Structure 1
Amino acid sequence: MSFPRQRFVLDTTAFTDAKLISHLGGTITDAVNRLSELISIGRLRLNISCYMPPSTFKELKEFLLESKCTIRDVDQVEAWVVRKAPDRHSVLLSSQVIYEYVSDVRDRLDQGMTIVRRAIKEALKQTEKNLYDENAQTVKDIESSLARTYEDKYRQKMRRGVLDSLPDIDTLILAKELGAGVVSADTGIKAWTERMGIRYVEAHFFPQIILTYLERLEDMPSSYKKIATKDKKS
């Protein structure tokens, strides 16, 4: 049985997603090695090619080494995932995509400024209150309290669901260039694949795609049948 060629571009979360790690053994090392093995099978037997921009691979490598993975673990990824820089000069994006991105960033900046103004007003209010309070808070206490209250709000408004790094943009451009799907667990990347008409696959589901294709092979090795059965039960 032959399969039509499929291409996927992987971002960092394709290997580091918490659901994926839980699904593939419980540790980052287990996930990296098992996913690399499945990618190798996909490449050799299923006509599936996986790519990663150099900027994304650098980010992933640093994360894996900081997470106590070995160089050998990283080498497994490098051996089977093709590193390719996106052709930023030839890939054309519609004016609508650019308009939506600028509009999204502008709206987030406005919302971020609103949160900052609220934080400033609250700081002034607490400082004024301290002038007449015998049990006044110190400046450090006020700062810590405001930071806990507003930092998370600001982070959610400014970063959740937005493209906030060059590797994210490289991933999308490369997928557009290759006509490939994107494997990720990043909400910002997911939102923009929908806007750009790019196939999106959740990181934790990607291994199951390969296993499902393997089940269609009549000569599928028994060891991989066990893997497929185990993943279905989980």
Structure 2
Amino acid sequence: MYRFVLDTSIFTNPDVASQFGEDEAAVGGFLDLARKVPADFFMPLSVYEELRKMRDLDPLIGYFESVVRIRSPRRSDLQIPGDFLYDFIDEVRKRIDHGLRIAEEHAKLAGAAAEMGQLLHQLRERYREALRRGILDSRGDVDVVLLAFEIDGSLVAADHGLRKWADRIGVAVVDARHFRDLLRHLVETKGAAEGVVEKSGG
């Protein structure tokens, strides 16, 4: 049985969500397909709460929770490889140093800048890019990776950083951009297998 741990990007990244439907309809489109798939779907509570802030799930709450199990990882029971934590610490340190260099560059430019507001905007964008892109930067990020690790599931995300860190810890990853095709293939495989069983039984 397949086990998929879902990140919010499946429903909030426009390029990814559109494979299931437009805007709010994407969640319903996913659920309609997922319930036919021979698989279990999970989402940590922290990620579910984040998704509910970005998408109006109220009309679909019962349906959503009947298809996707809301469950957080058992954090106190998990044993994480030490190499993973050391790699993470090294990555954070490099990003802090990089962010500091960006701040210094912009500070030097400040004296010559005619438009301080524009300079500060550029500083914020570059600093955010240096420190946050490609790294686990929220409780939800950590929860989806840990839950997939705990249940030996596949992490489904569009976020490159999530997939990279999940891979480092040995978690199977699925690029969310191809998730619909994967699910449809599983449905077709299930249908073909059931047809074989019916023929052999008949």
TM (norm. structure 2) is 0.89
Work out whether residues 21 and 30 of structure 1, in 8 Å CA contact, stay in contact via their aligned partners in 2. Answer: no
Take 1:39 and 1:194, find their aligned partners in 2: how far apart are those partners?
Answer: 24
Q: Which residue of 2 aligns with 1:61?
A: 52
d(CA) in 1 for partners of 2:18 and 2:9? 13
Report the number of matched residues. 193
Q: Find 2:96's aligned residue among 101, 109, 117.
A: 109
Superposition pairs for residues 166-185 of structure 1, below 5 Å? Answer: 166-185=139-158
How many Å separate the matches in 2 of 1:145 and 1:15? 32
* Corresponding position of 1:49: 40
| 1:40 aligned partner | 35
Give the drift of 1:6.
Answer: 1.1
1:153-172 to structure 2, matched below 5 A, reads 153-172=126-145
How far apart, in 1, do the equivalents of 2:158 and 2:107 lie?
A: 35
- Which range moved further: 163-172 or 29-38? 29-38
Per the alignment, residue 23 of structure 1 pairs with 19
Q: What amino acid is aligned across from residue 101 of structure 1 in structure 2?
A: F
Q: Distance in 2 between matches of 1:18 and 1:163?
A: 21
**Corresponding position of 2:65:** 78
Q: Specify the code of the residue in structure 1 equivalent to 2:101.
A: T
Amino acid at match of 1:36: L
Secondary structure of residue in 1 paired with 2:4: strand
Instruction: Return 5+ residue gaps in structure 2 as ranges.
Output: 196-202
Verify the 8 A CA contact 1:17 1:203 in the aligned structure 2. no
Note the C-alpha offset of 1:113. 0.5
Task: Give the aligned partner of residue 231 of structure 1.
Answer: none
Q: Is the 2:10–2:17 contact (alpha carbons within 8 Å) kept by the matching residues of 1?
A: no
Per the alignment, residue 228 of structure 1 pairs with: none
SS state at 2:135 partner: coil
CA contact (8 A) 1:9 1:50 kept: yes
Indicate the RMSD between aligned Cα atoms, in angstroms. Answer: 1.6
Q: In the alignment, what sits opposite 1:232?
A: none
Q: In structure 1, what is the Cα distance between the partners aligned to 2:80 and 2:17?
A: 34
Partner of 2:75, secondary structure, is: coil
Tell me, yes or no, if structure 1 residue 203 matches structure 2 residue 190: no
Q: Distance in 2 between matches of 1:115 and 1:208?
A: 41
> Normalising by structure 1, what TM-score?
0.77
What is the aligned-residue identity percentage? Answer: 29
Cross-structure match for 1:223 = none
Q: Distance in 2 between matches of 1:159 and 1:120?
A: 21
User: Structure 1, unaligned stretches of length 5 or more?
Assistant: 127-136, 221-234
1:100 is matched with: 87
